[in-house]
Amino acid sequence: MKDPRIQTLAHNLINYSVRLQKGEKVLIENFGLQRELVTALVAEAYAAGGYPFVSLKDHTVDRALLQGAQEEQYSMMANFEANVMKEMDAYIGLRSGSNIFEQSDVPGDKMRIHGNTIGKKVHRDIRVPKTKWVVLRYPNDAMAQLAKMSTEAFEDFYFDVCNLDYSKMSKAMDSLVDLMNRTDKVRLTGKGTDLTFSIKDIPAVKCAGEMNVPDGEVYTAPVRDSVNGTIAYNTPSPYQGFTFENVTLTFENGKIVEATANDTERINEIFNTDEGARFVGEFAIGVNPYIQHPMQDILFDEKIDGSFHFTPGECYEDAYNGNKSNIHWDMVMIQRPEYGGGEIYFDDVLIRKDGLFVLEELKGLNPENLK
């Protein structure tokens, strides 16, 4: 018997997340073969009057390609995929796989070839700014292990998170968006953290099920050269096949001047990718009430209730601060008491303490009001 929650998710993705209209084309790209959701998405796309296109990929095959990657080869691949993406009105990226570390032994220079070609030409230059898009994971045994849950319990958690009432969340976010758009100075504090920066005149953007599923964040970007102080991230952060822990960054006038982690040499190699890699392209506040703990999957971890993420690398066009880079690395700090607590101040006014909003107009974003 088919799980009815899959059909609900597919319906929401087509009709709410990408709002597929009659005659529009949607590319459904699946890393890892998840037939039930892919076929449900195809059916929902047809029901909406759209034209579904499907691309099936595999992480193990992708790893084999990357091991011998050449710039010319991947430029050709990027041109091929870019030509397809240019024809699309919408994109649904479904990511699943049995091993999150499948690419951990791919050399860094090979990963950079992928980022500089397919990552940039297909996704950053076309998919993100020019299509209606949403990306998501799909539950499996490996994800359940990362979350330290049984597979059945993780599936229940997954569908609670992904099928919640995102329209309700969207309305509750309006007050935070308005406040951020009126704010100049931000201060973040917590264990090992005291960071200040400006977000003046950079738009705030709410994310409530239209670009990521699960979702639940409001993002903007710091004024590029305004960041000063130190941040000590308290969640594991997988990036390019390696999980970084105990990451501490020190900023002077916007630039990362010191970076340490469980592999300090490796993290500095990433920040040396290009000039923009040592500047920040995003600041976002996470509010998903069902996501409480990190599971080494950034689509979940960046939405954690009571968290924020502070992202070295490329900024988004709709929250533009001028920073360009071939990386965009969302790293998360949780400010709930069990993670050491912390505060967020806007223009010297406390807006969130230990993960809970304290201003009356923002309390609708606290977990008891979003479930």
According to the model, what pLDDT value does residue 9 have?
94
Q: Which run of H or of E encompasses 132?
A: strand 132-137
- As a whole number of angstroms, the distance between CA 67 and CA 215 comes to 33
Residue from 38, 20, 55, 300 nearest 132 by CA: 20
Give the torsion sign (CA, 289, 295, 299, 304). positive
Q: Which amino acid is at 331?
A: M
Alpha-carbon torsion angle 332, 211, 100, 69, nearest 10: -110
User: Model pTM?
Assistant: 0.80
H helices, E strands: number in the chain: 11, 20
According to the model, what pLDDT value does residue 263 have?
96
In contact, 78 and 13? CB cutoff 8 Å: no
Could you list the pLDDT tens digit for every one of the 371 residues in the chain? Answer: 578 999 999 999 999 999 999 999 999 999 877 789 999 999 999 999 999 999 998 888 889 998 998 999 999 999 999 999 999 999 999 987 667 677 778 888 888 899 889 988 999 899 988 999 999 988 888 888 888 889 899 999 999 888 889 999 999 999 999 999 999 999 999 999 999 999 999 999 999 988 889 999 999 999 999 999 999 999 999 998 899 999 999 999 999 999 999 999 999 999 999 999 999 999 999 999 999 999 888 889 999 999 999 999 999 999 999 999 989 999 999 999 999 999 999 999 999 999 999 999 999 999 999 98
Which residues, in sequence order, are bridge partners of residue 332? Answer: 309
Sequence length of the chain is 371
In contact, 114 and 69? CB cutoff 8 Å: yes
Where does 210-306 show beta strands of DSSP type E? 212-213, 217-220, 228-232, 237-239, 242-244, 248-252, 255-260, 280-286
In contact, 366 and 357? CB cutoff 8 Å: yes
- C-alpha distances out from residue 147 to 135, 242, 261, 303, 330, Å: 19, 17, 22, 15, 19
